[in-house]
């Protein structure tokens, strides 16, 4: 029952975000006495509502794929991750600004070096082989070395500089990096679940950080219609903004619940498989020892 409720939340959350397009996204405070119109804007009247609808639709499709039982297969899960990367890139290309100016400060350089170091070390582990025995100390040292190398590269090339990057390219690189981290974690069958969790957080941030733009949009509409506008402090976000954010929160809760339930099941199955493999190995060793003992007995008897 709990798992079914979480799966329902995964589907209902994005649906609520999509429905916000029909609600007021920003409105003038009702106590404001200076008459300017329009007093509010709905999602159907601004690009912000279309963006919320697109994010909700993309995550609804992704959520439906994730709750599907077939997504637990590693190859299928990785395919869903790739699909989500494409979805995010398309939304950024359609609705994002042509390019964004990115200033790489020391703090962001350190964060980027940490992420790239983790990715690099995982690539090294793939090349060496997952079953190769590497101590935890050596593994931690490998990550630190990779992070240090990347920080040196970033320090020499990007830190302290400002770059102009196409929005679609920036989103693609971000989601591709997140997707790689999601697909290289264990169990591999949960890659899509992990990607959905992170995507719900990014969707929530997109909705939350749009509050200022929504208020400014309403003021612009008032200026275009009346030649004057209310003060910025007298404009507030409407119930549609809250509904879109709540939908993303509900998606996050549901996706975490589905991930946790599947993780427990998969880990239990992995432990059982390892125990069977260990028991089978012990059985073979016992049989081989018995065969050697019988051969020795026969040789002694002869």
For the stretch 185-210, pLDDT in tens is 778 889 999 999 999 999 999 999 99
**Structure confidence at residue 32 (pLDDT):** 60
Same domain, 237 and 256: yes
Task: Supply the pLDDT for residue 1.
Answer: 47
Q: What is d(CA 139, CA 284) in angstroms, rounded to the nearest whole number?
A: 33
pLDDT of residue 294: 75
Same-domain pairing of 130 and 183: no
**Residue ranges making up the domain that contains 154:** 105-160
Token pair 């329902």 is at which residue?
Answer: 8
Instruction: Note whether 128 and 46 are same-domain residues.
Output: no
Residues 92 and 188 in one domain: yes
Task: Tell me: do 42 and 80 sit in the same domain.
Answer: yes
Residue 36 and residue 83 share a domain:
yes
34 occurs within a structural domain:
yes
| 143 and 233 in a common domain | no
Per the structure block, which two tokens stand in for 150? Answer: 């990347």
Residue 183 lies in a domain: yes
Task: Assign 3-state DSSP to the chain and report helix, strand, coil percentages, each to 5.
Answer: 80, 5, 15
Burial 178-212 (b: 16+ CB within 10 A, else e): bbbbbbbeebbbbbbbbbbbbbbebbbebbeebbe
Low-confidence ranges of the chain (pLDDT < 70): 1-3, 32-34, 129-133, 269-271, 273, 300-302
In a domain, 257, yes or no: yes
Instruction: Examine the domain organization and report whether 251 and 134 are in the same domain.
Output: no
Cis peptide before 38 (omega within 30 of 0): yes
Same domain, yes or no: 92 and 115: no
- Give how many domains the chain has, as a whole number: 2
Pair of tokens at residue 187: 């169990």
Residue 144 lies in a domain: yes
- Residue 284 falls within a domain, yes or no? no
Query: Do 180 and 49 fall within a single domain?
Result: yes
Which of 129, 160, 191 marks a domain boundary? 160
The reply to whether 197 falls in a domain is yes
Same structural domain, 146 and 196: no
Q: Is residue 298 part of a domain?
A: no
Q: Is residue 300 part of a domain?
A: no
Q: In the sheet where 24-28 sits, what is the strand order? A: 40-42, 24-28, 235-237
pLDDT at 281 (0 to 100): 75
| Main-chain phi, psi angles of 96, to 5 degrees | -80, 165
pLDDT at 253: 95
Please check whether residues 156 and 85 belong to one and the same domain: no
């Amino acid at each position: 029952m709990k798992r079914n409720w979480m799966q329902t939340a995964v589907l209902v959350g994005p649906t609520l975000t999509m429905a916000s397009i029909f609600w007021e996204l920003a409105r003038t405070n009702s106590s404001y006495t200076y008459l300017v119109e329009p007093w509010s804007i709905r999602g159907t009247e601004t690009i912000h509502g279309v963006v919320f609808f697109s994010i909700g639709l993309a995550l609804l499709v992704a959520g439906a794929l994730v709750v599907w039982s077939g997504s637990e297969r590693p190859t299928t899960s990785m395919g869903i991750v790739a699909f989500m990367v494409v979805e995010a890139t398309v939304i950024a290309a359609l609705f994002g600004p042509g390019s964004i100016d990115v200033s790489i400060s020391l703090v962001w350089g350190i964060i980027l070096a940490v992420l790239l170091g983790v990715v690099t070390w995982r690539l090294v582990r793939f090349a060496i082989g997952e079953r190769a025995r590497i101590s935890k100390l050596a593994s931690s040292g490998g990550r630190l070395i990779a992070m240090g190398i990347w920080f040196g590269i970033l320090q020499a090339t990007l830190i302290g500089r400002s770059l102009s990057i196409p929005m679609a390219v920036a989103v693609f690189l971000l989601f591709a990096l997140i997707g790689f981290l999601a697909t290289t974690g264990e169990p591999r069958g949960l890659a899509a679940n992990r990607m959905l969790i992170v995507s719900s957080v990014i969707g929530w941030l997109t909705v939350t950080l749009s509050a200022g733009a929504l208020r400014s949009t309403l003021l612009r509409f008032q200026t275009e219609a009346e030649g004057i506008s209310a003060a910025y402090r007298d404009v507030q976000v409407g119930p549609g903004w809250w509904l879109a954010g709540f939908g993303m929160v509900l998606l996050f809760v549901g996706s975490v619940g589905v991930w946790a339930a599947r993780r427990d099941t998969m880990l239990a199955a992995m432990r059982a498989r390892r125990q069977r493999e260990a028991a089978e190995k012990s059985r073979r060793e016992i049989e081989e020892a018995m065969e050697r003992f019988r051969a020795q007995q026969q040789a002694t008897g002869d």
